[in-house]
Amino acid sequence: MPGGPPGAIALVQTKAGVRLSTAGVADRATGQPVTDGDFMRLASVAKAYNGAVALSLVQQGKLALTDTIGKLLPGQFPVWNAITVAQLLHHTSGLPDYTKSQAFLTQVSADPTATVTPPQIVGFVANQPLLFPPGSKYDYSDTDNIVVGLIVEAVTGQSYESELATQVYTPLSLTNTSLPNTTAMGQPTLHGYQVAKGQPPEDVTTALSPSGAWASGGMVSTPAELNTFMRAYVAGRLFGPTVQQAQRQFVPGSSGPPGPGTNSAGLAIYRYQTPCGTVYGHTGNFPGYTMFAAATSDGSQSVVVAVNTQLNTKEPVSAAYTALRHLESTAVCAALAG
């Protein structure tokens, strides 16, 4: 299909077991097939891991959803002082999205593989006013999760990467999941490609430093481990029912790109209401990758869909993106049927 990805994978877990469907290749240079053990960039699905860390700290009493930026990061962002942790995780903070700032775009254009620090990332928009009063509306902003990452470091005294290991990797026995700050990838790799009309796909797997996405989208994992994480995260295995209830206060709002069915936003989680039933999870895209991972409320049925090119809702909507949405819906129906 013109504009389509070189490869795709759909992992569907039912109560009876795991079904794996793949198409195309993970590496056009070698013809390597796609597998559920391929390392891939998680893009904004990493925001769910960000939520897992923050909500685990809430469960442990080290953080409260009502805590404000002013309390947790005193003196750093005076204009943002009244914003709460819940509003950051809900994308109702009003923070401008740094990925849309000219300063960030200039930096990426000048040196796309350079390492960018979290304070530098926030600095791209630190002096900008809020887009709206905190809590008054929904607006997806990558800045929200960067600030949550900084808050995690402030309240624990540990690096965000270390807290990912403590709060998520170790409890779930995830050995192939990480947050790198370089372009290096594990092997085997699901290579990411930029696909342009009339041109052969360009391998962009290592073209952009993930440090510029950090807690908002810089993680690497495999389809199999992403499935393990999402099932546990949605089921509330990393925190208790009271925290989960707070997480599932949904407002109208889509993940980026939108997932199947009708989307609603909770705290670092989305509800996808489809004709076949409801699942909870997250989507994401990054140069070379588009992801969708979700599970039923109890985590018993789940789906991971990944393709190795970036597809989104930019006009005109491509046939490849439309096909991806159909694939996601089909995979959800298959998961819920078993």
Domains of the chain, first to last: 7-337 (3.40.710.10)
Tokens of 44: 């904004």
Predicted pLDDT of residue 43? 98
Give residue 316's pLDDT band: very low, low, confident or very high (50, 70, 90).
Answer: confident
CA dihedral (86, 90, 94, 97) positive or negative: positive
Cα 113 to Cα 134: distance, rounded to the nearest angstrom: 34
Give residue 314's pLDDT band: very low, low, confident or very high (50, 70, 90).
Answer: confident
Query: Does residue 338 register a pLDDT over 90?
Result: no
State the burial class of residue 17 (Cβ atoms within 10 Å of its Cβ: 0-12, 13-18, 19+): exposed
* pLDDT tens per residue, range 111-146: 999 999 999 999 999 989 999 999 999 999 999 999
Query: Going by C-beta distance under 8 Å and a sequence separation of 6 or more, which residues neighbour residue 241?
Result: none
Predicted pLDDT of residue 127? 85
Determine the 3-state secondary structure of 68 from DSSP.
strand
Query: Does residue 37 register a pLDDT over 90?
Result: yes
Mean of the pLDDT values across residues 186-206? 95
User: 49, 84, 16, 103: which is closest to 221 by C-alpha?
Assistant: 49
Rg (C-alpha) for the chain, rounded Å, is 19
Tell me if the pTM is above 0.85.
Answer: yes
Q: Give the residue, 247 or 312, on which the prediction is more confident.
A: 247
Predicted pLDDT of residue 86? 98
Cα–Cα distances in angstroms (integers) from residue 254 to residues 50, 174, 204, 281, in the given order? 18, 28, 26, 11
Give residue 198's pLDDT band: very low, low, confident or very high (50, 70, 90).
Answer: confident
| Residues paired with 25 in a beta bridge | 33
Cα 14 to Cα 72: distance, rounded to the nearest angstrom: 42
Cα–Cα distances in angstroms (integers) from residue 141 to residues 28, 147, 159, 236, 251, in the given order? 34, 11, 22, 24, 15
Give residue 330's pLDDT band: very low, low, confident or very high (50, 70, 90).
Answer: very high
Residue keyed to tokens 């000219």: 102
